[in-house]
Amino acid sequence: MPPSRGLSTSSQKRLRDLVIARVLIIAGSDSGGGAGIQADIKTVTALGGFAMTAITAVTVQNTVSVKAVHEIPGEIIAGQIEHVLSDLGADLIKTGMLASVEVIAAVADALARAKSTHPRVVDPVMIATSGDSLLKSDAVDALRTKLIVGARVLTPNLPEAEVLTGRRIRTLADMDAAVACLRGLGAEAVVLKGGHVEGDLVRDLLIEPDGVTCFDSPRIHSRATHGTGCTLASAIATGLGQGLALEHAVARARAYVREAMRTAPGIGQGHGPLNHGFTVRPFEA
């Protein structure tokens, strides 16, 4: 298997040499395997980290739709978090689908009881790629106050940023105009994902207190977009846990997602999954 075009041979060697970041993922399960906990575990593993989980919901979904959602009881969610942290510890915590006020409260309370000071990467999962809702409307304020405030990184796409800021964000100019509002949400940094802006250019913004960094890439025209947000956030979390500077972690995460899209397996009838394992060479006995 030739070296991936997404990560050079030297980059793959540097990846092997990085510390093993322990990433605790608090998110929902995707039965289709393309997003949620499944995408998170694949991403962290492919980038050289060690993934641990606290599952918040079990979803019945595929590449076409989300048919049903079953929330895990709060005490079980909290138990997973506390039991993992008390033994394995963590370098980063990544949150994804949190579904409801009750789930968000259970997560926040468990982290408080565990006296967690771990940096958090918060992916404010609200709507699946299929268009199905994954966060109840009354839970947005709880997400803002209990988990976004104080987070190391917040990673909204444009529809999520619109909900969080109350602003219309549809163009590159709208993205620039929303910077101050996004800073005001209380996270240390925000990665605003611009994939919903039409056109051949995809622009993401890394918004920090002292400036904004633009990441521009040509659009990959593909239906393999299921789980891109989960994947990006977990890739950023892994990089930070490995000691990368934030800008480097974001750049590597974007490169990883793009190559995973480019080499996607092309399965499913809807928005297909990525090729999370492109960094892994086949095992030969």
Q: Catalytic pick from 36, 74, 194, 229? A: 229
Mean pLDDT score of the chain: 92
Region 66-82: mean pLDDT is: 96
Q: Catalytic pick from 193, 194, 238, 241? A: 193
Q: 134: which 2 tokens?
A: 């994954």
Q: Catalytic pick from 95, 228, 231, 279? A: 228
Among residues 100, 81, 44, which one has the least CA distance to residue 230? Answer: 44
Per-residue pLDDT, 4? 41
Among residues 129, 163, 149, which one has the least CA distance to residue 261? Answer: 129
Backbone angles phi, psi at 203, to 5 degrees: -115, 125
Q: Catalytic pick from 56, 225, 231, 238? A: 225
Active site residue 171: no
Per-residue pLDDT, 129? 67
179 CB-side CA count, 13 A: 15
Q: Catalytic pick from 42, 53, 74, 230? A: 230
Higher pLDDT, 285 or 214: 214
Residue % of the chain over a pLDDT of 90: 85
Per-residue pLDDT, 1? 31
Mean pLDDT lowest among 9-13, 142-146, 158-162, 207-211 = 9-13
The rounded distance, in Å, linking the Cα atoms of 40 and 46 is 10
Higher pLDDT, 112 or 14: 112
Q: What is the pLDDT of residues 216-225, one digit of tens each?
A: 999 999 999 9
Active site residue 214: no
pLDDT at 159 over 50: yes
Residue 176 and residue 192 in contact, taking contact as beta carbons nearer than 8 Å = no
pLDDT at 127 over 80: no
Which of 3.40.190.10, 3.10.20.30, 3.40.1190.20, 3.40.50.720 is the CATH number of 9-265? Answer: 3.40.1190.20
Q: Catalytic pick from 48, 227, 241, 272? A: 227
Q: What is the pLDDT of residues 79-88, one digit of tens each?
A: 999 999 999 9
Active site residue 155: no
